[in-house]
Copies of this chain bind each other. A is one copy, B any other.
Amino acid sequence: MATTTESVSELCAGAKRASRVLATLDTKTKNGALEAIAIALEQRTAEIIEANALDLEAGREAEIGDALLDRLALDERRIAAMAAGVRAIIALPDPVGEVLDGFRRPNGLEIRKVLVPLGVIAVVYEARPNVTIDAAALCLKSGNAVVLRGSSSARHSTAVLAGIAAEAAGAAGVPEAAITLIQGRGREELAELATQTAQIDLIIPRGGEGLKAALAEHATVPVIYAASGNCHVYVDSSAELGMARRIVLNAKVQRPGVCNAAETLLVHRDVAAAFLPEVAQELAQAGVELRGDELACELARPAVLVPANSTDWDTEYLSLTLAVGVVDSLANAIAHIAAHGSGHSEAIVTRDHRAARRFQHEVDAACVYVNASTRFTDGGEFGMGAEIGNSTQKLHARGPIGLRELCSSKYLIEGDGQIRS
């Protein structure tokens, strides 16, 4: 692995050189390197735990709090899970070379559009050291070099993990600089990374709003921002209310801290009095605080809702809080989502075919659900295997970012001497 005594631009240039080799490796070599990484993680578990202990100690001294300490902590089980994650990526099809489109032109030219690696992908992340291995494995499988930049709070863990991965991949015939770590120079380092347009093809940040803002300010390299999700479940007037209740509960409660969890429930006025009291009670029993608009508060009785204020509709709580609004039409539900949604995952519960179709056509989001929980927006749940995040932007990748989304394409054109007239 390239070391941090080199400058950021030297490290990125090394990754770029490695990417040219990586792009030509066959699937067997890439999978062999991934298996070598999985084995090395298992064999060097003690070493990883030792490095992690240094980060945990520093974290406790800095009083970063139990939640962050838990995200940071590695044990045998979590390291085994990382190795299993790498093996799951081995099992996925190699995206490189996939023919997206192909045709023969009247002049005899044969044209194919095929997936190719992007080149060098920088992944910038906070806390969870396992992202080091996830990102390295996904990039390696898709033929990309990766430049990793973890958080300073995980620096010992990240260094050991990246070192193990680069070394194992290197021994298996992949250039070591295919997995390059940069860390230890603070925010200037990030700014330098974000402007290496000649070396870096894409930056994927995985972290909070501060990280995104820092990148938005500095980046000249293309960035795909992992999504924030202000997701809605809309219960239509024709909804099967038992199904609606199960979907709302699941979308809010099953894992509230993630981007595909629901943050707002919209209910058609015609069914609000029948639906709200019971669902409000169930949600309350599950520990959810409900913040309703005036009509929702009224129609949910005897359940008691906290009156919502204007900021609730735009808030991604990521916790056991749910805003509840009553709308008097499908059109107004769609308008509410257009005004407040973040374009991540939106669901309608309905028995009406026309309403389902209209909701799917008109709601502008990465994933639009009919009669299912928003929680399914996930590479694994979509059958794409591991993902490196979810995109709510419209260019290049929208929805889960898996192996194919880490690729670009090129046209291969074959002829027998065609010239243009």
Contact = CB atoms under 8 A, between A and B. Distances in A.
Contacts of A360: 412
A15 to B, nearest CB: 15
Interface stretch (A49-57, A130-138, A246-254, A306-314): A246-254
Given A119-B394, A395-B408, A109 B376 contact: yes
Interface stretch (A3-11, A76-84, A281-289, A366-374): A366-374
Nearest to A108: B372
A361 B220 CA distance: 28
A243 interface: yes
Interface in A399-421: 399, 408-421
Contact of A419 (B105, B118, B254, B368): B254
Nearest to A413: B369
Contacts of A247: 417, 419
A247 B413 CA distance: 14
A413 B375 CA distance: 12
Contacts of A243: 416-417
A338 interface: yes
Contacts of A399: 113, 409-411
Contacts of A109: 372, 376
Interface string A350-381: 00000010001110111111111101110001
A412 B201 contact: no
A383 interface: yes
Contacts of A418: 371-373, 376
Contact of A420 (B373, B395, B411): B373
Given A103-B383, A376-B109, A366 B410 contact: yes
A417 B371 contact: yes
A359 to B, nearest CB: 10
Q: Is the interface of A mostly helix, strand, loop or mixed?
A: mixed
Nearest to A202: B395
A249 B421 CA distance: 12
A371 B109 CA distance: 10
A398 B409 contact: yes
Contact of A364 (B119, B202, B240, B371): B119
B222 A395 contact: yes
Given A119-B394, A372-B109, A250 B413 contact: no
Contacts of A111: 382-383
A376 B113 CA distance: 15
Nearest to A357: B412
Highest count of chain B CB atoms <10 Å: which of A222, A240, A395: A395
A88 interface: no
Contacts of A64: none
Highest count of chain B CB atoms <10 Å: which of A240, A356, A419: A419
Contact of A413 (B216, B222, B246, B368): B368
Nearest to A335: B20
A364 B23 contact: yes
Contact of A246 (B376, B409, B412, B417): B417
A141 B290 CA distance: 44
B369 A394 contact: no
Interface in A9-25: 20, 23-24
Nearest to A255: B420
A71 interface: no
Given A373-B419, A377-B411, 8 more contacts: A202-B394, A243-B417, A367-B411, A372-B413, A372-B419, A373-B418, A376-B413, A399-B411
21 contacts: A20-B338, A24-B362, A105-B382, A105-B383, A113-B399, A116-B364, A201-B394, A201-B395, A222-B395, A250-B420, A254-B421, A356-B414, A364-B410, A366-B410, A366-B411, A368-B412, A371-B414, A371-B418, A373-B419, A394-B408, A399-B411
- Enumerate the 9 nearest inter-chain pairs by beta-carbon distance, A residue then B residue, closest first: A372-B415, A250-B419, A394-B408, A375-B420, A396-B396, A243-B417, A372-B418, A395-B396, A367-B411
